[in-house]
Structure 1
Amino acid sequence: MTYAGLGVAAVVGALVVALVATAVRGLGARWWAATALAAAGLVGLTVVFDSLMIAADLFRYGETALLGVRLWLTPVEDLAWPVVAALLLPALWALAGDGESAGEPVEERGER
């Protein structure tokens, strides 16, 4: 399996979990916007720090398993993992919640 195939499978799995969390917990546009913002930040940090680590020759990729598209020095396949983290971790947190609307701030839920 290529890096791209593995990355796509992981992103699709994380997206399914996020969609289930949306349906079960009633997460709205605000939750998805926050998730997208987190994903964008993680992708940006991944491009910078992966590129620095690749430039320092800390690790290498098997070139035959790559698509060849790079952002700076980071293979585009490597950007699947921050997207998976940004989708999967908040979705699992929402699913593991106490049943209240996980997408609303505490003050809007009326907690004491």
Structure 2
Amino acid sequence: MLRVVPPAGGPAPQAPERVAFQRRELSAILGVYGRFVAAGEWRDYGIDMLRDVAVFSIFRRSAEHPIYRVEKRPKLAAKQGQYSVIGMDGRILKRGHDLAQVLRVFDAKLIRAVDD
């Protein structure tokens, strides 16, 4: 197999134009979202794919500010972890390398929502 190497001083590899959630990531997020919709807590969501972050915003009603944001920031993958859940007030509720572990922050909230 022949490997082509760009000349020294050539163009650097391009970063992706935007960050997006992969299918398995969206499946995990939508699984949590569906449970809260069934409990009557959440009603709408939005997805933004920007240059350095992908954001899944969760709304109680469609005309409000998001109550939670699930963010994917690949630049933080080697540091704190690329996934985070951020509350309405901007506080980071959970951050990590494993999306399923980060989404567990919603488990206690779901139990309270079902009990009410």
TM-score, normalised with respect to structure 1: 0.30
Bigger proportion of residues as strand = 2
Ranked by relative contact order (alpha carbons within 8 Å, sequence separation 6 or more), the top structure is 1
